[in-house]
Amino acid sequence: MIIDWLGWVKWLKLTTKDVINIPYTTVLDSLVRFVREYFKDSGAIRVVMGLSGGLDSSVLLALLVKALSPSRVTALILPDSNVTPEEDTKDAVELARSMGVEHHVVYIDQIVEAYRVAPFVQIAEDIPTGNLRARIRMNVLYYYANKYNAVVAGSSDRSELLIGYYTKYGDGAADFLPLGCLYKTQIRELGRHLGLPSQVVYKPSAPRLWKGHTALGELGYSYDEIDLALYALFDLRMGIDDAVQATGLPVELFEKVLLMHRKSRHKRVALPIPSLPWLSAPIREI
């Protein structure tokens, strides 16, 4: 990297290796410390999480077990047989068993179907139904947490948070996000570092909110490409023109991720509350 004294990038060639080249032992130590401190401060007696059999939730499970203990972690596996491949459920169950954590498989098919009683609900393989599935899963997680004095750990990563690729009050709802500081490609490397099964580490990202739903199919770009674009824009704070030149990625990708970031801002900020003339802030912590 060659940067002049004003900080402008004159010449730079970026690849995915620049994104994933971080000290994973140090990262893991930091995440373990974060989980332990949050858990201690929460006053809870256990952590509950949704385990899909995909990369993020599998890495999260391994992290929670390492930071706490298997006896402090419960994994809820919440498939919908209409859209969830059997191999995902199988991978989730096998991983939970291998780590010795309490786990429950709860099919949400009937819960999704129950929404048909509302006259405006049409159960179809579309975004509204997919978001409904995500929100049903979070309802189940919080019911468990409320009943058994647990906190909910979310598995959203930095890539998803920056572009808003999650369901508001669905998989985006949690008490804490231990992986929220890592890009998807970094989490894949962390999964390798943790020794997770290869079929999980290299499984294509697929939210499975409707039949055949994959991240690549919906977003149009791989996470290798998306993460590199995000790294250039948000970590290196490059403009689009410089980022295109440095990465060789198409300008359309940068325009897309920036648009997704701006349109999803409402997901990352506190709910807007009006202020009154005599209040310095609507709600203030003391």
Is residue 138 within 8 A of residue 62, CB to CB? The reply is no
**What is the pLDDT, as a whole number, of residue 1?**
43
Report the alpha-carbon distance of residue 101 to residue 116 in Å, rounded: 35
**What is the pLDDT, as a whole number, of residue 9?**
55
**What is the pLDDT, as a whole number, of residue 146?**
98
Name the token pair of 112.
């999704």
Closest CA to 72 of 81, 80, 63, 82: 63
Report the alpha-carbon distance of residue 124 to residue 209 in Å, rounded: 11
Q: Considering the entire predicted model, what is its pTM?
A: 0.92
Task: Report whether pLDDT(159) > 70.
Answer: yes
Instruction: Write down the residue that tokens 């401060």 correspond to.
Output: 41
Per-residue pLDDT of 220-261, as tens digits, reads 999 999 999 999 999 999 999 999 999 999 999 999 999 999
In this prediction, residue 283 has a pLDDT band, given cuts at 50, 70 and 90, of confident
Per-residue pLDDT of 90-129, as tens digits, reads 999 999 999 999 999 999 999 999 998 888 888 888 899 9
E strand map for the chain: 2-3, 9-11, 46-50, 73-77, 102-105, 150-152
Q: Residue 75 has what DSSP assignment?
A: E
In this prediction, residue 19 has a pLDDT band, given cuts at 50, 70 and 90, of very high
Per-residue pLDDT of 27-51, as tens digits, reads 999 999 999 999 999 999 999 999 9
Q: Compute the average pLDDT of residues 185-202.
A: 97
Task: Report whether pLDDT(5) > 70.
Answer: no
The architecture that CATH gives domain 23-215 is 3-Layer(aba) Sandwich (3.40)
Q: 55 burial class (0-12, 13-18, 19+ CB within 10 angstroms)?
A: buried
**What is the pLDDT, as a whole number, of residue 112?**
94
Per-residue pLDDT of 60-96, as tens digits, reads 999 999 999 999 999 999 999 999 999 999 999 999 9
Instruction: Write down the residue that tokens 């997919």 correspond to.
Output: 130
Name the token pair of 192.
């390798």
